[in-house]
A = this chain, B = another copy of it.
Amino acid sequence: MAEITYAQAVNAALRRALSEDPGTLLFGEDVALPGGVHGVTRRLRREFGERVFDTPISESAILGGAVGAAMMGLRPIVEIMWADFAFVAFDQLINQAANVRYVSRGRLTAPMTVRTQQGATPGSCAQHSQSVEALFAHVPGLRVCLPATPQDAYDLLLAAIGCDDPVVVIESRELYHSLKGPVDQDGPRAPIGGARVHRAGSDLSVVTWGPMLHTVLEAARVLESSGVSVEVIDARWIDPFDTDTVVDSVSRTGRLAVVHAANLTGGFGAEVVARVVERGVSLSAPPLRIATEDLRIPAAPALQRAAIPGRDTVAGRLLSMVAPATTA
């Protein structure tokens, strides 16, 4: 299996969807002729012609256009260039797309996919840096996933496109061109949902998603050298969220940490903690959330590093969670 980048995996999934289903459309700002500001949609216009097109800088028209086309039976895939920009048109997701099926009792549906990307990268300003998955996850009727590997960038996107309801796929700008991996492109399309255990462990369960997975995996390696065994779960989908996998893991390890790049308060980490403790799983330490401070994201790299948990912060806090127990 050839290694390809995360961006190439997205591109491959789009190509497959556009090839397999003539009802699939792809549109958004700069996605067609220029091939996307990050090059993710390259060559698709050339291959699929008018089913791939550029739009005005009009997010309400893009998302509303997707809702309307989906209601008519097509399967639009649209791009919101940065997740931060969704908020100029959030109505079309929360009050429009999410309502279509429920309010019509299934007579109408909105099988649309919204691709976007998020995250802070050095120099990115407060309006181009937020991790906002929790805002989508609080909207019943929307599905939400955050692929963290090239294979998942491929699989989750195809699952999203195959879903008969609106799905928001939050890609990672920082991983687009920096992460390579083998990608099986011939498997059947997976259904939506399902966490993945990236690393088995016995002392502590860590739930994470998006590019933070890699930070957590590094931290887990650090802890391994201190003799602490960390189980790392990539939630992948936060709607539907795979509570069972998490609860199973925490039942074995007795400890839960959630790590995310989104701001702490009201982040989806709180939901994960609540779901686990509601089930009455017995814990040998209080659950822990490691997240970005409750602040706007500053642009300067030095400030970003202070705000967003990196490997050492994550490793240190995870260690302090098990330390009392191991020294006891």
Q: Which residues of A contact B (CB under 8 A)?
A: 60, 84-85, 87-91, 94-95, 98-99, 102-103, 125-127, 130, 132, 134-135, 137-138, 140-141, 239, 241, 262-263, 265-271, 273-274, 277-280, 286-289, 294-296, 298
Report yes or no: A138 in contact with B141, Cβ–Cβ below 8 A. Answer: no
Q: How far is the CA of A288 from the CA of B274 in the complex (A)?
A: 8
Report yes or no: B289 in contact with A278, Cβ–Cβ below 8 A. Answer: yes
Report yes or no: B274 in contact with A138, Cβ–Cβ below 8 A. Answer: no
Residues of B contacting A91 in the complex (Cβ-Cβ under 8 angstroms): 85, 87-88, 90
Closest chain B residue to A296 by CB distance?
A: B102
Number of copies of this chain in the oligomer? 2
Q: How far is the CA of A148 from the CA of B268 in the complex (A)?
A: 27
Report yes or no: A296 in contact with B103, Cβ–Cβ below 8 A. Answer: yes
Cross-chain contact of A266 among B130, B271, B288, B294 (Cβ < 8 A): B271
Residues of B contacting A141 in the complex (Cβ-Cβ under 8 angstroms): 295-296
Residues of B contacting A263 in the complex (Cβ-Cβ under 8 angstroms): 138, 140
- How far is the CB of A207 from the nearest CB of chain B, in Å? 13
Closest chain B residue to A287 by CB distance?
A: B277
Cross-chain contact of A278 among B102, B138, B288 (Cβ < 8 A): B288
Closest chain B residue to A127 by CB distance?
A: B95
Cross-chain contact of A274 among B98, B127, B137, B274 (Cβ < 8 A): B274
Q: How far is the CA of A17 from the CA of B229 in the complex (A)?
A: 58
